């Protein structure tokens, strides 16, 4: 495969792990200080990563750090990571909304879940959102693809001879 094609279609796992570390730091700061601006920034960053193909500010910083450290890219399949970013967007949006309504305890609970998931990604390379993708989204996509794919004549004839 052409490395340029891979880099355009896949994501670097090292960049993702550094982004997760930044999410831990920003979310902790947000919950500790109840800073609405950092919550909004985190929500926008997740939105950019989940719903666009351009690098988010946190991903941009992580890419610079991996280049400076000369870390060789480790390419991963994007859809599960995009789904995880969409979940992160949902969590950070909920944190932002709870802080605006002064539901501090609820924002702590939601933020703690986000921090825990980001910690697993950053330290142990365990993506909870990716597992959720494989449990929820992938089976739905497989069913949809199976319904639209027409079986070949040869396989139909083989099935008839077996019966």
Three-class SS state of 123: helix
Three-class SS state of 11: strand
Question: What does each C-alpha distance from 53 to 8, 88, 112 come to in angstroms?
Answer: 10, 16, 28
Domain ranges of the chain: 3-137
Express each pLDDT in 80-135 by its tens digit.
Answer: 999 999 999 999 999 999 999 999 999 999 999 999 999 999 999 999 999 999 99
Q: Supply the pLDDT for residue 9.
A: 76
Asked whether the beta carbons of 89 and 50 are under 8 A apart, the reply is: yes
Express each pLDDT in 57-89 by its tens digit.
Answer: 999 999 999 999 999 999 999 999 999 999 999
Helical axes 36-51 vs 13-33, angle rounded to 10°: 160
Q: Supply the pLDDT for residue 152.
A: 59
């Amino acid at each position: 495969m052409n490395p340029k094609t891979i880099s355009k279609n896949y994501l670097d796992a090292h960049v993702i792990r550094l982004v997760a570390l930044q999410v831990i730091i920003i979310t902790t700061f947000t919950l500790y200080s109840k800073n609405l601006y950092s919550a909004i920034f985190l929500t926008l960053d997740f939105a950019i990563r989940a719903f666009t193909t351009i690098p988010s500010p946190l991903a941009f910083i992580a890419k610079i750090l991996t280049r400076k450290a000369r870390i060789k890219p480790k390419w991963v399949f994007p859809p599960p990571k995009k789904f995880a970013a969409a979940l992160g967007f949902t969590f950070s949006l909920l944190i932002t909304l709870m802080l605006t309504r002064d539901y501090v305890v609820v924002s702590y609970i939601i933020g703690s879940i986000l921090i825990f998931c980001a910690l697993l990604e950053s330290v142990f390379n365990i993506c909870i959102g990716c597992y959720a993708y494989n449990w929820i989204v992938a089976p739905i996509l497989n069913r949809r693809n199976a319904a639209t794919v027409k079986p070949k004549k040869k396989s139909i004839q083989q099935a008839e001879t077996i019966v």
